[in-house]
């Protein structure tokens, strides 16, 4: 069993190590900058996923509305996870529309939609990205397994490759999410870029 445990740990490390390469590093930097600008403009972020990815979406949102590493003002983020909404839309329109309907309800031009799907083929997320673009939202995708139907759709995308199951992909996604939040806080509240952002938004 120890050999299997060690292999699982090494697989997890390999997934996260992908974040050290050029494209993921650029994705993290650009995502943090996009989110910081969004919050600086008093806009909001909508986040969605299925199963474990919905749990990650909720985690992402609560780190923004609550605190991450230090106390600071709340940042507007909504995970599209409300049970009444999901079961109502799922029952009346079908599960493929649970997220796109949420974006229709809450999304405004200038907001950001973040979608997490390890396959890139979840119909409800494909529909969500289409709805977000139709309403003028900027988009960020966390993908895996080749990217699926959503590869190349979002304004920014992270693709964790080489894994056939969702667990390792989601672990890398969450690592990236934590780093993005850390960088958003650095830009908005603590770092030298705070003044640069404030100056840019005042133009």
Partner residues linked to 142 by β-bridges = 116, 158
9: in domain: no
Q: Which one is predicted more confidently, 123 or 196?
A: 123
pLDDT tens digits, residue range 5-64? 999 999 999 999 999 999 999 999 999 999 999 999 999 999 999 999 999 999 999 999
Distance of CA 74 to the CA centre of its chain: 18
SS3 143: strand
How confident is the model at residue 200, as a pLDDT? 56
89: in domain: yes
Q: How far apart are CA 58 and CA 52, in angstroms?
A: 10
Q: How far apart are CA 1 and CA 17, in angstroms?
A: 24
5: in domain: no
Q: How far apart are CA 76 and CA 44, in angstroms?
A: 5
pLDDT tens digits, residue range 182-201? 999 999 998 755 555 566 55
85: in domain: yes
How confident is the model at residue 196, as a pLDDT? 57
Q: Specify the number of domains making up the chain.
A: 1
Dihedrals phi, psi of 142, to nearest 5 degrees: -110, 115
188: in domain: yes
Task: Please name the residue that has the structure tokens 């993908």.
Answer: 143
6: in domain: no
158: in domain: yes
pLDDT tens digits, residue range 98-119? 999 999 999 999 999 999 999 9
pLDDT tens digits, residue range 163-185? 999 999 999 999 999 999 999 99
What range defines the domain where residue 152 resides?
Answer: 34-194
End-to-end CA distance of the chain, in Å? Answer: 60
Handedness of CA 113, 117, 122, 126 (dihedral sign): positive
24: in domain: no
Q: At what angle do helices 52-65 and 166-185 cross, to 10 degrees?
A: 10
Name the pLDDT band for 70 (thresholds 50, 70, 90).
Answer: confident
Report the CATH number at residue 54: 3.40.50.10490
């Amino acid at each position: 069993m120890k050999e299997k445990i060690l292999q699982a740990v090494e697989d997890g490390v390999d997934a996260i190590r992908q974040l050290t390469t050029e494209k993921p590093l650029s994705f993290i930097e650009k995502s943090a900058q996009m989110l910081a600008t969004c919050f600086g403009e008093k806009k909001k972020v909508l986040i969605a996923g299925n199963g474990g990815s919905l749990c990650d979406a909720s985690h992402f949102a609560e780190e923004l509305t609550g605190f991450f590493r230090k106390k600071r003002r709340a940042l507007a983020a909504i995970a599209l996870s409300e049970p009444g909404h999901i079961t109502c839309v799922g029952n009346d329109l079908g599960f493929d529309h649970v997220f796109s309907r949420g974006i229709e309800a809450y999304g405004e031009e200038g907001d950001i939609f973040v979608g997490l799907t390890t396959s890139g083929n979840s119909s409800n997320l494909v529909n969500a990205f289409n709805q977000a673009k139709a309403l003028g939202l900027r988009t960020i995708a966390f993908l895996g397994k080749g990217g699926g139907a959503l590869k190349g759709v979002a304004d920014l995308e992270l693709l964790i490759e080489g894994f056939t199951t969702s667990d390792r992909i989601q672990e890398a996604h969450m690592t990236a999410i934590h780093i993005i939040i850390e960088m958003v806080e650095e830009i908005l509240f603590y770092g030298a870029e705070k003044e640069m952002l404030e100056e840019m938004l005042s133009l």
